[in-house]
Structure 1
Amino acid sequence: MKQRNFRTIETNGVSLRTVVEGEGPLVILLHGWPQCWYLWRHQIDPLVEAGFKVAVPDQRGYGGSDAPEEVNAYDIIHLTGDVVGIADALGYATFTVVGHDWGAPVAWNTALLHEERVNAVVGMSVPYSRYPVGELTKQENFGDNFWYMVYFQKPGIAEAEFEADIRRSLRMIYSMGSGSNAQEIFFKPKPSTSGFLDGLIDPLEQPPGITQEDLDYYVEQYKRSGFRGGLNWYRNIDRNMEITPQLEDKKISQPALFIAGEKDVVLKFPGMNLDGISNWVPNLKKQIIIPDVGHWVSVESPEIVNEALLSFLKDLRSQN
């Protein structure tokens, strides 16, 4: 694995292990669950070579960064504050923020809550949305069927399942989300009393874009951090709506790009209406859906993602 330049950035009451490389306009790359900075391993060098400074944190609760105990320490105010704090520590008044999976809501909300700091935003996999409190977290909305966000709400349950065999858990989750597996695997009905991994495939082969070395690195990171911090993000889904009433009708004004895989299970989630994304993001420059690719777009199709990302960033730079 290529050696990276790690910095420990103190911000917003936490220490964030962050890859910082390159010189030029700042681009902050935000991973989601269950990942760490390593999700962006194929994007860092092309961005640096194109003349950008890149900051890639382990977000709070992940990898080599701090993982506060309090569940409320993972709400959207804290998470977006971390992002702005990284820019402050690096001496940048403005920056572009790019997020995948949970990193996408953090990116979208950073653009909303810190509008004067964010000059552009890129979301991958998860379009911007706001949900009524309880819609994604209450079992009664799903009958007797399992829904993972409900399962994640009670501290300790999902942690115990995933940490019983970290390698197996990550292998199954990464496989489930990849374009090589049918979306039906994730959405196949199972009782509400099930565990997350029940009914999923434990693959004999690594999913696209994930080598054995990659899996080894992820296992090392989760042995270090555990799963609790990342799961606490889900335990703030309702709180995030409650503490940001000022965003109820606010639109994202910055130039934006959205990228997702055609086979991404997230695009089938309740309320994920790609046709309506421009209502919330009126300055959306392009929406790119990559054929035959699943959830992990930046590793399943790095060439297309890099081309789209660099084209978007270079266009912005030429206009400034």
Structure 2
Amino acid sequence: MILPNIQGDIAMFNPTDFPTPSLISVNGVTLEVFEAGRQHAGNPIVLCHGWPEHAFSWRYQIPALAAAGYHVIVPNQRGYGHSSCPTEVTAYDIEHLAGDLVALLDHYGYEDATFVGHDWGAMVVWGLALLHPNRVKQVINLSLPYQERGEMPWIEFMEQCLGSDYYFVHFNRQPGVADAVLEDNTSRFLRNLFRKNEPRREPEPGMAMINLARAETPLGEPVMSDSELAVFVSAFEATGFTGSINWYRNLDRNWHILAEVSPIIRQPTLMIYGERDAIPQSEKLNAFVPNVTVANLDCGHWIQQEKPEETNEVILNWLAQQRIA
């Protein structure tokens, strides 16, 4: 098992230790997929990254899960890395994103798997469990709790509550504007975004992600080493941000897609929160995810990268308990 070396408070990982990817054609696209523990075929676990991330965000979980007896499957989802980046915005709705994961299971010959998601990856895993419940054995999600569908489409609701500059809304109402700013400032944006222990401050006017991309000085401390950050920077310098931002541009479409689906997640579920994450914890989680176990770690949003050993311990302990139950 490869464990992180700690220099100061930054977990260090040599990017050359990351698995070599395969390009797999599924669901009308090609996915760049990283694997470990192939000798454990029959016990799959699929790790789904968030925005603006990469399969590399799971670098500390992959060896730990493989050592624990899992066939670990980690795709760069559509819009990311060397995976396909369709031009149509609607190609990134929850049907397509969940369909990619179902097709990935079919490719490996698996009926179901344990799915792990962080941030937007968690949103995809929640949606997958609703749309294809028979393909999801267990759910482990980080940072983003289950989102109640509500009576109003999500972007419309956010615009009403949080205003037009809120980045989810801005991505939808001003397509292409943020994409261009982030592309022009890729390295600075990602350097400023992947931070921890940031001081509390009053919200500033304007669109948060554009402000981050233009900020000269980052706040707090870096989540990762320069060599790790370079993996993310290189990936987004190659692809740009439009494909990944198109996930946001389908939120209202997803709201309509899920209209006729039972809203209850019935699989055994582990929800991991960062206590300093800006994303609030759900007060209604048990109502929609009745078989949930909740864990809290002393960190911000980038949970599995900020606290790799603690994250691994929580996940592996929970998985062991599920095997016994």
Same fold (TM over 0.5): yes
Whole-angstrom distance in 2 between the partners of 1:197 and 1:106: 25
Specify the SS of the correspondent of 2:140: strand
Q: Which sits farther off after the overlay, 17-26 or 197-206?
A: 197-206
How many residue pairs match? The answer is 305
1:311 Cα deviation after fit:
1.2
Tell me the percent identity: 38
Which of 202, 206, 209 is equivalent to 2:217? 202
Which of 268, 275, 283 is the matching residue for 2:283?
275
Q: Which amino acid aligns with 1:8?
A: L
Q: Which structure 2 residue ranges, 5 or more long, are not aligned?
A: 1-14
- How far 1:117 sits from its partner (Å)? 1.2
Structure 1 CA distance, aligned partners of 2:134 and 2:274? 30
> Aligned match of 1:53 in 71, 82, 85?
71
Aligned pairs for 1:88-107 (under 5 A) are 88-107=106-125
TM-superposed deviation, 1:184: 3.6
1:265 maps to 2:272 = no
Alignment CA distance shift 1:140-1:257 (3 Å): closer
2:228 to 214, 223, 248: 214
Give 1:155 shift: 2.3
Equivalent residue in structure 2 for 1:181, among 171, 185, 198: 198
Measure how far apart 1:144 and its partner are.
6.0
Q: Work out whether 1:287 is the aligned partner of 2:294.
A: yes
Output the CA distance in 2 between the equivalents of 1:204 and 1:119.
40
Q: Who is 1:316 aligned against?
A: 322
Secondary structure in structure 2 of the residue aligned to 1:136: helix
Cα–Cα, structure 1 residues 298 and 146, in superposed 2: closer, same or farther, change >3 Å? Answer: same
Give me the whole-angstrom Cα distance separating, in 2, the residues matched to 1:17 and 1:311: 29
Q: Structure 1 CA distance, aligned partners of 2:209 and 2:35?
A: 41
1:86 aligns with 2:101: no
Aligned-pair CA distance for 1:317: 2.7
CA RMSD of aligned residues (A): 2.2
1:21 and 2:36 are equivalent in the alignment: yes
The reply to whether residue 243 of structure 1 matches residue 250 of structure 2 is no
1:303 aligns with 2:309: yes
Rate the CA distance shift 1:139–1:46 in 2: closer, same or farther, 3 A: closer
Paired residues of 1:36 and 1:58 also in contact (CA < 8 A) = yes
Structure 2 partner of 1:270:
none
Q: Give the one of 156, 167, 188 matched to 1:168.
A: 188
Aligned partners of 2:222, 2:19: CA distance in 1, in Å?
Answer: 25
Name the CA distance, whole Å, in 2 between partners of 1:126 and 1:194: 18
Q: How far does residue 182 in structure 1 lie from its aligned partner after superposition?
A: 3.3
- 1:115 matched residue in structure 2: 133
Normalised by the size of structure 2, how large is the TM-score? 0.88
CA distance in 2, matches of 1:263, 1:200: 22
User: If the length of structure 1 is used for normalisation, what is the TM-score?
Assistant: 0.89
SS in 2 for 1:152: helix
1:77 pairs with 2:91: no
> Unaligned regions of 5+ residues in structure 1, if any?
268-272
The 1:315/1:250 distance shift into structure 2, 3 A limit, reads same
Per-residue CA deviation, residues 32-72 of structure 1 (Å, 9 max, x unaligned), is 10001001000000000000000001010001100000000
- Contact 2:276 2:301 survives alignment (8 Å): yes
Answer yes or no: is 1:149 the counterpart of 2:168. yes
Match of 1:7?
22
| CA–CA distance in structure 1, aligned partners of residues 193 and 254 of structure 2 | 25
Q: How many angstroms apart in 1 are the aligned matches of 2:104 and 2:268?
A: 21
In 1, the alpha carbon distance for the partners of 2:26 and 2:208 equals: 39
Residues 178-223 of structure 1 deviation map (CA, whole Å, 9 limit, x = unaligned): 3x113546xx041469934278673288513x10001111111011
Change (3 A) 1:196 1:150: farther
Letter in 2 for 1:49: A
Amino acid at match of 1:37: A
- Cα displacement (A) at 1:275: 2.5
